[in-house]
Structure 1
Amino acid sequence: MNNDDDNQNIICKDFLIDKELKAKDLLKIDLEKLAPTLKSLKVEGIENENLELSQLISNTKSLQKLSLEYIEFTELPKGIENLINLKELNLHCKKLNFLPKEIEKFKYLTILNLCSNKLINLPKEIGNLLNLQELNICDNYLNKLPKGIVNLKKLKKLNLNKNKFTDQPKRIEYLSNLQELYLSNNGLTKLRKEIKKLINLQKLDLSSNRLTEFPEEIISFIHLKKLCLNNNILTELPNEIKNLLALQELNISSNKIIELPKEIGNLINLQELYLSNNKLTGLPKEIGHLTNLQTLNITDNKLTELPKEIGDLLNLQTLNITDNKLTELPKEIGNLLNLQNLQINSVPLKRLPKEIENLTNLQRLDLCNVPLKEFPKEIAALTKLNNLSLNHNKLIELPKEIINLINMQELYLYNNQFTELPKEIGILINLRVLNLWRNDLSRLPKEIGFLTNLQKLNIKDNRLIELPKEIGHLVNLQELDLNSNELTKLPKDIENLTKLQKLDLRSNRLTELPKEIGNLIKLQYLNLNNNKLTKLPKEIGNFKELQELAIYNNQLIKLPKEIGNLINLEKFYLQYNKLTELPEEIGNMIRLKYISIDYRFSIKKYSYKYYDFKLLLNNNNLNSFPYDIINNITIKMVKEVDLSNNYLTVIPSLISQLKSLRKLDIHNNLLQTLPNTLWTLPKLEELIIDNNLVLCILKKIKILFEEIRLKPVHDQNNTHDSLNNEATDLEIHTILNFITLSKQNYPLTNDELIENIINSNKIWQILLLKRKKEMKKINILF
């Protein structure tokens, strides 16, 4: 090739692109034009074999990286074998149960991901992928590896997590350059001596197996940096663990270990040590030798004391000693000057050592369920704290010194015995979350209005009688929980909380809501259950983004018609009120998925039949649509609905949720119009209505349909006597003439249709031919 060709090749490579597509995108793009430009392609969400995908793949000759995720293929798409330049292939396909031998064609492949499929075995030809460096086969059904695996001399990472290996995979020891081996969630009970040959191993995961003893073979891995043995049945660690000098992370959580050997102190490079959920009663003093340790987790053990040498862990950043039997902490804990996260939950401490005030870099402190009777004043010195949890204690008051915690962003004080908050709480202007759930507060200080950065405020289960008007200053508030208090009214200033998304006011004593609540246009959740509301303001219709509304168990007599404006509502709870009727505007809630209504409005009240995807509600004296039809997933799959011979005045727009509906009979009701959403039902084929709705039909469908045909239909259930008679000559002539005019594209006027058909007092069948490509017919019966 000459220099010009080389330059041309380089230019082409520079213009190659990366692309991410969904299944629906394949139908919209020019595949032939896109394919040659691709260097990397990611496709998600295809449920079965897809011709467009095969076409795209077959023409992407320069593709180097292909990712097919969450695609329910049982075998590889056609054309994939032609991608000989692939370097990375991700086949996270869920149902792939077979890997063809043609996989060997991908000679340049360095990364192969087959995670989360249904593979039982691998082809021997996988051994021909001589450049492979990473092989991920986790979450399959493998119990052996093919012989060809021994050829993968460049393999550095092998993930076999969550398979069916009950024994160490054979021939794995020939992967001499392997650095990472993952075998968690199998059924391993031991390792074989051959594994010692993996002298370059740096990461080994044997978690969630059935190991009862520490595998002695591990001691040979002198370069090991990470070892996971959590969720096994180990009872002890061997003294020889001291040989793993390169170890940086050791996880032996969720075993049955009673004590640690003092030799653990030799692991001087250890940075993370996880010991939770064992049976440790103490730690060896040699723990203090781990001066590079940054994380120590010893939750859920039986420790009664910590060695003073813990104070030598000068680089420790996270210490979790939750759920132990400690009654005191050593004063040396104050030496941990780099500590940022300290968790001491569910520990029966009598007091905190005063030296804790030295932890000036602490950012998170958990002291839940200790139980403390007074706020530790030493905490006030921890000025970098941004997250403090004192839940489930017996605290009565917050000290004024809390003003020092000016960087506090999250403060959790729930389930204590606070009767009031100090006005100094207003100093914490950086607070984002304040949780006061389950205390004994009867009022809030007006200074709470200074917390203008607050996003979440929980005052559930207190004794608040009123809210200060300053609550309206919390302009960044997104969640406000006032559940289970004694509020009788809300301040008008609540109108300023325009960023509020969640408001919980249930189980109070509210009799009305201020109209200003209508300003909360960002609300997505509003709970007013168990109050004494007699009415709702019409401004509730402003909540266009509301997804859940609960007004259960109040004294509501009537709902405002503006309730129908809540077009994004998905859940609506309104049982146990004093409603005598439901506004027809509820039918506008086209996204409604669940509605709880009293029995007298429910479908349960009526004698209906449901079988073979048919719902029969005819002849039931219905005067309102039973909205709770949508609650039943099975009924929502209905194909035929009969609502004929009732007293319905409205068919609601939310009928559009019955996506499988093919036939709807609503004749002999009191209907004057039909909802626009009716015509969006994708499978609707037949509609039976009264002839007085013809004009309405014409207005709705005149744009959608180009040909209209009529024929008489005999209806034995219709109450009109004339419908049982045969058509007269005049009526037959009118029908034939109508068909003739239609074929001649001569438009029939509304007056002509009304005069010749509506006045005939019969049920007619109209065949409507859509303008769409499929030219689908809809039968409409008058």
Structure 2
Amino acid sequence: MSRLARGRGRRGKFNPRAGFAPEPAGPNVSGALLKQARKSGQLNLSNRGLEKVPDTVWRINLDVPEEAKNVTFDGEDRWWEQVDLTKLILASNKLSELSPDLNQLPALVVLDVHDNDLTSLPKEIGDLQHLQKLNASHNKLQSLPSELCHLNNLLYLHVDYNKLAELPNDLSTLAHIEDLDVSHNELPTLPPSIGYVSRLTKFNASNNQLANLPPEIGDLHNIRVLDLSNNQLEHLPTDVGRLGKLEQLYIKYNKLREFPNLKQCEQLKELHAGFNLIASLSADHLKLLPGLVLLDLRDNKLTSIPEEITHMQHLQRLELSNNDLSSLPFSLGLMSSLKSVNLDGNPLRTIRRDVIQRGTSELLKYLRTRIEAQFSFPGWSEEQQNGGNTHSRVTSWPGALSTPTSRSSEPKSGDVAPLTPDPEPAGPGSTIDTFTVHKTKSINYSNKNASSVPDDILETGRDMYVSDMNLSKNVLTTFPAGLVQLAATLTDLNLSFNKLAVLGAEIGQLSRLTTLDLRNNQLTALPTEVGNLQHLREVALSCNRFQQFPPVLYSLLKLENVFANDNHIAAIDVDGLLKLPQIATLDLQNNDIMQVPPQLGNVTSLRSLQLGGNPFRVPRPAILAKSTADLLEYLRGRIPT
């Protein structure tokens, strides 16, 4: 055999310019990949079917690289300028163990071994003193080495989805860790040292077997997100109330019987306490949470909601479904910040079901009318309310504000608008009075048998900066183009129960709309101009002729509630729904949907999903009757893997 042939046998294919090409470093790990890693300091070996990490990976910065053995003349291979490996990704392979030789990579900053078959981590991992991020989730780890606590620079540790029954006792040495995820394990308790991980800002211990928490958890003074969902907790220690920087608290799916005492959690914005056994909610509880934006108490045992809930001036989403509520405080209707209220599954007696089904905006309007049925017109002085004047009221539609029909001819000092002797009609046959329009910023021109909207109605709305226009129960066949005069202020538009077959392009100019009601018309599509309504939070399309979910809605990133029941929609576009980060309510009942894609379960923002009355066979009616969370979990379980 010639010398050249022997050389080829040792080194592989010969290149006249670069010499002999290096041999593969191991299964699915080429020499070229290692060469690039020596230049960048990063090596990604994810999803390569590796059952073992080749030794050349651990020795990447120790062995003389192959390219150093080859003679080159073009200056491209500057092998002597190699850098230490700082990032190693071994995710989504078939690794059952990691070699102790990993300590030969002392410069590692990131080590990602998630989604493998690891049953343990080598104790030598404690030698990686520069390690800042370790992801070992989705493995089969039964314990963690105590040497892990030697990683003083660790900022991020994820060991979720394993089989851990305990955590190392000396977690206090992880002085810099900020993100710790131990969820989906088998932990019966947490070590007291958890309270000394002083820089922790995000801690996820959900889906374990925790029956109690150590009081030291109250020492996590920098914690902002705490997830304790899906455990066996029957109470929270009062020490949780000392978490002054806490912004999000997840305690759903436990066995809590009492609302937690969160006396110092003034920064709390989201409280997820659904699926517990909480039977009462007191005014004292609510006074401690002035900044709350989301309150989830669904699937508990609540029988009443205190009037003091109105003190929560920032509350936007209130989840109360599947409790034992028979009534609501009417003052809830005064909470202008509320964007979504879910009441499904309660034995409510004071609110008709059709009012609830119309959505949050209509529910709040209805509650306001109930206040006015009991008290004097809001905003009037005490002298006006209790003096010699008599104020009679007419409620013209469910959810309308009351209208005073007689009042003093002389304005009083401090009144918000001048009083006139008699109401002035704002249009032919209208009973709208300009004082009420000015006061409420709303116009009710419903049930007039009108085929168009009079110009003076629109001018009144423009001049008085109306934000709410009700044109329902008329015979409109075209979109009232004159509504664009109100574009600067209009936020709520009700065009339900008309004869609209097409929605005009002018709708796109009403860019401040947050609520749009198009129920009971003859619509088959929405114009692309609807995509300009980027503030829209709620749209009602029920009882029309849609054959598909309007694609333009997928571009409305603030959309929360969609009512599209009683149409002819044939399919569910999951990819489109996943583009709506805030979608909370989706009603697709009584359509022509033949199949429910399992991926719908990934739309985890949904709080109310209604699919009944469609011809699909799966999920079965018994599954549909369960809560939305159970339905989504069922669908996720059917996603092919």
Normalization by structure 1: what TM-score? 0.43
Q: In the alignment, which residue of structure 2 is the partner of 1:105?
A: 60
Given residue 423 of structure 1, which amino acid in structure 2 is its aligned partner? K
Q: Within the alignment, does 1:75 sit opposite 2:28 as a pair?
A: yes
3-state DSSP class of the match of 2:523? helix
Residue 92 of structure 1, aligned match among 30, 43, 46: 46
3-state DSSP class of the match of 2:53? coil
Given residue 210 of structure 2, which amino acid in structure 1 is its aligned partner? L
Q: 1:231, 1:254 within 8 Å by CA — same for their partners in 2?
A: yes
Given residue 399 of structure 1, which amino acid in structure 2 is its aligned partner? G
Q: 2:167, 2:190 within 8 Å by CA — same for their partners in 1?
A: no
- Which sits farther off after the overlay, 254-263 or 272-281? 254-263
What is the deviation of 1:272? 1.1
Given residue 446 of structure 1, which amino acid in structure 2 is its aligned partner? K
| Larger RCO, structures 1/2 (Cα 8 Å, 6+ apart) | 2
Given residue 196 of structure 2, which amino acid in structure 1 is its aligned partner? S
Q: In the alignment, which residue of structure 2 is the partner of 1:399?
A: 399
Given residue 300 of structure 1, which amino acid in structure 2 is its aligned partner? F
Post-superposition Cα deviations, 1:118-141, rounded to whole Å, max 9, x if no partner, equal 112223333232332121111111
Equivalent-residue separation in structure 2 for 1:316 and 1:279 (angstroms): 23
Equivalent-residue separation in structure 1 for 2:158 and 2:343 (angstroms): 36
Equivalent-residue separation in structure 2 for 1:258 and 1:269 (angstroms): 24
Q: Within the alignment, does 1:471 sit opposite 2:523 as a pair?
A: yes
Map 1:478-489 onto structure 2 (within 5 A): none
Are the structure 2 counterparts of residues 500 and 208 from structure 1 closer, same or farther at C-alpha, using a change threshold of 3 Å? closer
Post-superposition Cα deviations, 1:50-70, rounded to whole Å, max 9, x if no partner, equal x9xxx9xx99xxxxxxxxxxx
Q: Within the alignment, does 1:163 sit opposite 2:139 as a pair?
A: yes
Are the structure 2 counterparts of residues 86 and 388 from structure 1 closer, same or farther at C-alpha, using a change threshold of 3 Å? farther
What is the deviation of 1:169? 2.8
Given residue 445 of structure 1, which amino acid in structure 2 is its aligned partner? N
Normalization by structure 2: what TM-score? 0.52
Map 1:416-455 onto structure 2 (within 5 A): 422-423=472-473, 444-446=497-499
Equivalent-residue separation in structure 1 for 2:165 and 2:55 (angstroms): 32
Equivalent-residue separation in structure 1 for 2:107 and 2:115 (angstroms): 24
Equivalent-residue separation in structure 1 for 2:292 and 2:149 (angstroms): 37
Q: In the alignment, which residue of structure 2 is the partner of 1:301?
A: 276
Are the structure 2 counterparts of residues 499 and 250 from structure 1 closer, same or farther at C-alpha, using a change threshold of 3 Å? closer
What is the deviation of 1:373? 5.1
Post-superposition Cα deviations, 1:241-283, rounded to whole Å, max 9, x if no partner, equal 2222222221111111111122221111111111100111112
User: Could you list the runs of 5+ residues in structure 1 that have no partner in the other structure?
Assistant: 1-50, 60-72, 391-396, 407-420, 435-442, 460-466, 509-522, 527-549, 553-782
Given residue 76 of structure 1, which amino acid in structure 2 is its aligned partner? V
Post-superposition Cα deviations, 1:220-258, rounded to whole Å, max 9, x if no partner, equal 322222221111111122223222222222111111111
Q: Within the alignment, does 1:189 sit opposite 2:165 as a pair?
A: yes
Residue 290 of structure 1, aligned match among 247, 261, 265: 265
Q: 2:120, 2:142 within 8 Å by CA — same for their partners in 1?
A: no
Map 1:85-164 onto structure 2 (within 5 A): 85-93=39-47, 95-103=49-57, 104-105=59-60, 107-164=83-140
Are the structure 2 counterparts of residues 423 and 229 from structure 1 closer, same or farther at C-alpha, using a change threshold of 3 Å? same
What is the deviation of 1:318? 1.4
3-state DSSP class of the match of 1:142? coil
Map 1:686-697 onto structure 2 (within 5 A): none
Are the structure 2 counterparts of residues 124 and 356 from structure 1 closer, same or farther at C-alpha, using a change threshold of 3 Å? same
RMSD: 5.1
What is the deviation of 1:367? 2.5
What is the deviation of 1:185? 1.3
Q: 1:110, 1:134 within 8 Å by CA — same for their partners in 2?
A: yes
Are the structure 2 counterparts of residues 108 and 388 from structure 1 closer, same or farther at C-alpha, using a change threshold of 3 Å? farther
Given residue 473 of structure 2, which amino acid in structure 1 is its aligned partner? K
3-state DSSP class of the match of 1:99? coil
Post-superposition Cα deviations, 1:484-517, rounded to whole Å, max 9, x if no partner, equal x9xxxx99xx9xx99899xx99999xxxxxxxxx
What is the deviation of 1:208? 1.0
Given residue 46 of structure 2, which amino acid in structure 1 is its aligned partner? H
Are the structure 2 counterparts of residues 505 and 342 from structure 1 closer, same or farther at C-alpha, using a change threshold of 3 Å? closer
Q: Within the alignment, does 1:258 sit opposite 2:231 as a pair?
A: no
Are the structure 2 counterparts of residues 271 and 499 from structure 1 closer, same or farther at C-alpha, using a change threshold of 3 Å? closer
Given residue 105 of structure 1, which amino acid in structure 2 is its aligned partner? I
Q: 1:256, 1:279 within 8 Å by CA — same for their partners in 2?
A: yes
Map 1:201-350 onto structure 2 (within 5 A): 201-284=177-260, 286-309=261-284, 310-350=286-326
User: Could you list the runs of 5+ residues in structure 2 that have no partner in the other structure?
Assistant: 1-11, 20-25, 62-82, 367-396, 403-436, 443-470, 532-538, 555-563, 573-591, 595-641
What is the deviation of 1:74? 5.6
Q: 1:272, 1:294 within 8 Å by CA — same for their partners in 2?
A: yes
What is the deviation of 1:480? 12
What is the deviation of 1:291? 0.3
Given residue 87 of structure 1, which amino acid in structure 2 is its aligned partner? G
Are the structure 2 counterparts of residues 430 and 472 from structure 1 closer, same or farther at C-alpha, using a change threshold of 3 Å? farther
Q: 1:74, 1:96 within 8 Å by CA — same for their partners in 2?
A: yes
Are the structure 2 counterparts of residues 223 and 525 from structure 1 closer, same or farther at C-alpha, using a change threshold of 3 Å? closer
Q: 1:363, 1:386 within 8 Å by CA — same for their partners in 2?
A: no
Are the structure 2 counterparts of residues 365 and 162 from structure 1 closer, same or farther at C-alpha, using a change threshold of 3 Å? same
3-state DSSP class of the match of 2:39? coil
